Amino acid sequence: MGTRPFWELKTEKGTIVVRLDPLSAPFTVSSIDSLTRAGLYDDVVFHRVVRNFVAQGGDFDRKDGFGGPDYRIPTEPSFETFERGMAGIASSGTDTEGSQFFFMHRWSPHLDGHYTNFGEVTRGIDVLDNLQVGDRVLEAAIFPE
C-alpha cells in the first residue's frame, strides 16, 4: 500500500479521492483498506449530511448510521486539525471506531484530539459539497502512492 496511498470513492455525484495517512492512523487505514478490498464500501449510502459540518457514510451493515463491522478499532486521536476536506472516522466513544467515515465541509476545531483523522480529500471537494443524504458510493478502491 505504501506510506501515502489514495482511497477513491466513485459516488453518484462524482469521484472523491482521499490521500490516506497510515503513519498517523495505522489501524484506521488498515481497516479501511481491508473493508474496501472486500467490497463492503460499494453501494453504501451517505446517511448523514450536515451542511457546513460533515458528510458521513460507511455503514454497510445497517445503512442507517448505527451499523458497522463486527470489530472495533482503537481511537487514534490526531494532531491535525479537522479543517475543510479532512477525513475522519466516526466514533461513539474511545476505542469504538469501525467503518463509518466523515468528510469535513468546514473547520471544526472541537473535533481535534478527540477523533481519528486518517486523510484529506485531494480531489472531489466539489463532489463533497453536493452530497445529500441517500447518495451512494458506487465503488471504492485503494491505490498505492
Residues 6+ apart with CB under 8 A from 126: 14
Helix (H, G, I), strand (E, B) or coil at 32: helix
pLDDT score for 75? 95
Quote the percentage of the chain above a pLDDT of 70. 100
Please compute the mean of the pLDDT values over residues 22-48 and round it to a whole number: 96
What 3-state class would DSSP assign to 30? helix
Contact (Cβ atoms closer than 8 angstroms) between residue 107 and residue 73:
no
Rounded Cα gap, residues 54 and 50, in angstroms: 5
Reported confidence tier of residue 80, pLDDT bands at 50, 70, 90: confident
User: For 93-113, what is each residue's pLDDT tens digit?
Assistant: 999 999 999 999 999 999 999
Using 50, 70 and 90 to split pLDDT, how confident is the model at 62? confident
What element of type H or E holds 118?
strand 116-123
Read off the pLDDT of each residue in 20-40 and give the average, rounded to a whole number. Answer: 96
> For 6-143, which CATH superfamily applies?
Cyclophilin-like (2.40.100.10)
| Selection from 125, 121, 131, 109 nearest residue 49 by Cα | 131
Report yes or no on whether pTM surpasses 0.75.
yes
Q: Determine the average pLDDT of the residues in 36-51.
A: 96
Query: How sure is the predictor about 63, in pLDDT bands with cuts at 50, 70 and 90?
Result: confident
What ranges do the domains of the chain cover? 6-143
Band of pLDDT at residue 129, cut at 50, 70 and 90 = very high
d(CA 39, CA 37): 5
